[in-house]
Amino acid sequence: MGEYADLRALLQGLRAPMIVAPMLRVSGLELTAAVCAAGAIGAFPTVNARTPERLDEWLSALDQLQSEGAAPYCPNLIIKAPTLAEHLGLICAHEAKVVITSVGSPAPVIEPLHKAGCAVLADVASLAHARRAAESGADGLVLLTAGAGGQTGWLNPFAFVAAVREFYDGVLVVAGGMSHGRSLLAAQVAGYDAGYFGTRFIATEESLAQQAYRDLLTTSSMDDVLLTKAFTGLQTNMLRPAIEASGIDPDRLDESVTPDLAGRLFGDGADGPKRWQQIWSAGHTVSSVDRVAPAAELVAQIVDEYADCAAAQDRAHLSMRSR
């Protein structure tokens, strides 16, 4: 086994312990590069590159940026994607220091990624999945909790981290509910090492999201987020206004739709409105999206809030000890 990156050391080298989540059809080279240049970890699903040649170009550009002092970039491997082997090979040929795995056990990719110098974070949504990923040798876990955008978790983030900490001392990252620097500090107090930021970064100038999608986020609130199985066959947080704009009554969705039927109704080859393309998702943090902004500006805002909250907490502790 070769030397591979120390996840906690990578997080300590950031301006704040934050990862901008890999988002399907949203996270591309431009957004990832802007986040990394601003001092946070930028992540992207490798399938967003569409072709192996384009993925190779993205990885080369991010290698260069990283070598110039930017924060690490983080490819996301979807384990059940048919492109897994090809994308894994490309990552191993480049200079990524950390990789996120999702939709399946990380076990098949951990050894080659470690040999290539990559630490491995695994997405998990249940205690059973967390145990299995930990036993497989994952260096960190992303705990997908209630309120995350897209295919979401269902567990309370405080209860989830407490239960996982009973058997796992590796890096834990919370996904769901991260919107500001104070959220990030609260997560650390609860037992997490870092936070996953997603929804707010959809509404950035560099994201791949359609302008109409970005604009909708700025006028939506968490009351517009609907948890439904109708579009993917799995519990997914979608935006009610986008559902309504597609001609579908969000109050009459069939919650028993199977993944196969959902794919035929709303997938890429469907005749009707397509999930992710016309029917858009968001997490509960959509209430914090008030404008479309440059990614670097958003990272800087979160970093400043985090530093201010940490300083205020330190002052409060000093005051209590002096009494």
In a domain, 313, yes or no: no
Kindly state the average pLDDT of the residues 29-56. Answer: 98
Q: Is pLDDT above 70 for 190?
A: yes
156 with 269, same domain? no
276 with 151, same domain? no
193 with 217, same domain? no
Residue 74, phi then psi, degrees to nearest 5: -140, 100
Residue 43, phi then psi, degrees to nearest 5: -125, 155
In a domain, 256, yes or no: yes
139 with 199, same domain? yes
Q: Residue 21 contacts by C-beta under 8 Å, 6 or more apart in sequence?
A: 27, 43, 175, 196, 197, 198, 201
Position 195 scores a pLDDT of 97
192 with 60, same domain? yes
Q: Is pLDDT above 80 for 322?
A: no
Say which CATH number the domain at 69 has: 3.20.20.70
Q: Is pLDDT above 70 for 256?
A: no
- Domain limit, last residue, from 207, 225, 252: 207
Q: Please write the tens of the pLDDT for every residue from 69-83.
A: 999 999 999 999 999
In a domain, 307, yes or no: no
In a domain, 270, yes or no: yes
Position 136 scores a pLDDT of 96
In a domain, 135, yes or no: yes
Average pLDDT in the chain: 92
- Domain limit, last residue, from 207, 242, 269: 207
**DSSP string for 92-149:** HTTT-SEEEEESS-SHHHHHHHHHTT-EEEEEE-SHHHHHHHHHHT-SEEEEE-TT-S
Residue 251 — pLDDT band, cuts 50, 70, 90? Answer: confident
Question: Measured between alpha carbons, how far is 50 from 185 in angstroms, rounded to an integer?
Answer: 36
Position 104 scores a pLDDT of 92
140 with 12, same domain? yes
Residue that wins the pLDDT comparison between 133 and 265? 133
Q: Please write the tens of the pLDDT for every residue from 168-188.
A: 999 999 999 999 999 999 999
70 with 161, same domain? yes
Number of domains present in the structure of the chain: 2
In a domain, 161, yes or no: yes
Kindly state the average pLDDT of the residues 6-27. Answer: 96
Q: Which amino acid is at 281?
A: S
123 with 107, same domain? yes
- Domain limit, last residue, from 189, 207, 225: 207
Q: Tokens 């902004």 appear where? A: 293
In a domain, 309, yes or no: no
Q: Is pLDDT above 80 for 258?
A: no
Kindly state the average pLDDT of the residues 227-231. Answer: 88
Domain that holds residue 224: 211-284
Question: Beta strand 150-151 with 194-197: parallel, antiparallel or unpaired?
Answer: unpaired
86 with 145, same domain? yes
Position 101 scores a pLDDT of 98
Q: List C-alpha distances in Å: 101 to 22, 119, 175.
A: 10, 11, 14
Q: Please write the tens of the pLDDT for every residue from 301-314.
A: 999 999 999 998 87
Position 1 scores a pLDDT of 42
Question: Measured between alpha carbons, how far is 204 from 200 in angstroms, rounded to an integer?
Answer: 8
Which helix H or strand E contains 67, and what residues bound it?
Answer: helix 52-67
223 with 193, same domain? no
44 with 166, same domain? yes
In a domain, 221, yes or no: yes
Position 40 scores a pLDDT of 98
189 with 216, same domain? no
